[in-house]
Amino acid sequence: MATITLKRNKNSSAAKIATHHDRPFTSPMASAIVTVIAVLWTIPTFGLVVTSFRSKEDIVSNGWWSSFTHLNYTLENFRAVLFQGSSTLGNQGMIPFAINSLAITIPAVVLSVGFGLLAAYALAWVPFRFSDQVFYGLFALQGVPLQLSLLPLLTFFSSGVQIAGHTVIPPLHIVGTFAAVWFPHVMFGLPLVVYLIHNFVSSLPRDLIEAARVDGANHFEIFRRVVFPLSIPAVASIAIFQFLWIWNDLLVALVFAGGTDDVAPLTLHLANLGGSLGSAWENVAPAALFSIIIPLIVFFSLQKYFVRGLLSGSVK
């Protein structure tokens, strides 16, 4: 009898501590609030998705939530977005702009992460006199808003460098080409990329690097055989970060793509479409959905790495 009571007491107090420990807010309440917020956060995007599948007549006559009572959806809008084009979208549809986005994003990501990894290795493992100063200098450049360099960089691309009437660097003639968008992305991205990768590369065990050095490896071999293979997960997560950043950019494209449709990425084209109030939603909604589909796929399939990349910079 006594033992049973004791046991029960013990159980209940253990249970009490456990509940307390796991849930300072009672768990059902926390779950309910989070669920409500998650739903609220999703509704706007969901509205866009639903609108994309509605006919023009339906879209102008009532709200997307009304479509649930008399289901009437169509794929027609996507035909315009992908193939036919329209007076709003232009006669090419959105696919060429998606190709432009890829042509901007892929090289810019590879170059920024590639140069970033190399620089991070040098700052972490190649001893030289001003190593610290260079590190802090690069870090400080993160604090330069890209707004500050738009105009001078554009001028540099279009007219080169003149000192006292002499041409020191001739005009590069790249404005309106992909190169004019790659370079700014790489330049603006590098300080953060170097910093994030440096966080990882410098935390590799010193013994590992020393062991390779004792075996006669020089920096090129250490980088290729030891550091690069070990850095792949960290580099991948930062590459995803850069991918989303560059894919989603508007300002750099607006300034450097030279206003031609041959180079304009999806974001730029979309910003032009959506700019007029009272837009043609049967075109704009599916076009917007189309533009966010690739980053969403990247995000949902690689979320773990993305979060890791995000954390590498801010949580110690």
| Site for another protein, residues 13 to 52, rule: CB under 8 A | 17, 20-25, 27, 30-31, 33-35, 37-39, 41-45, 47-48, 51
Query: Residue 286: which of 75, 40, 101 has the closest Cα?
Result: 75
Query: Cβ atoms within 10 A of the Cβ of 73, count?
Result: 13
Does 68 participate in binding another protein (rule CB under 8 A)? no
Cα angle for residues 201, 207, 213 (degrees, 5° grid) = 90
Residue closer to another protein by CB (options 146, 204) is: 146
From the list 191, 200, 201, 305, which residue makes contact with another protein (rule: CB under 8 A)?
Answer: 191
Residue closer to another protein by CB (options 8, 137) is: 137
**Shortest reach from residue 1's CB to another protein, in Å:** 29
Q: CA 230, 234, 237, 241: dihedral to nearest 10 degrees?
A: -130
3-class secondary-structure state, position 285: helix
Residue closer to another protein by CB (options 74, 95) is: 95
Question: CA dist 286 to 94, 106, 143, Å?
Answer: 10, 24, 37
**Shortest reach from residue 238's CB to another protein, in Å:** 14
Residue closer to another protein by CB (options 1, 71) is: 71
Residue closer to another protein by CB (options 134, 204) is: 134
Residue bearing tokens 């590369």: 201
From the list 13, 15, 83, 162, which residue makes contact with another protein (rule: CB under 8 A)?
Answer: 83
Which residues from 221-280 bind another protein, rule CB under 8 A? 221, 223-224, 244, 247-251, 254-255, 262, 267, 270-271, 274-275, 277, 279
Q: How far apart are CA 27 and CA 144, in angstroms?
A: 44
Residue closer to another protein by CB (options 205, 278) is: 278
Residues with Cβ within 8 Å of residue 268, at least 6 apart in sequence: 97, 250, 253, 254, 257
Token pair, residue 130, equals: 């001003």
From the list 9, 92, 167, 260, which residue makes contact with another protein (rule: CB under 8 A)?
Answer: 92
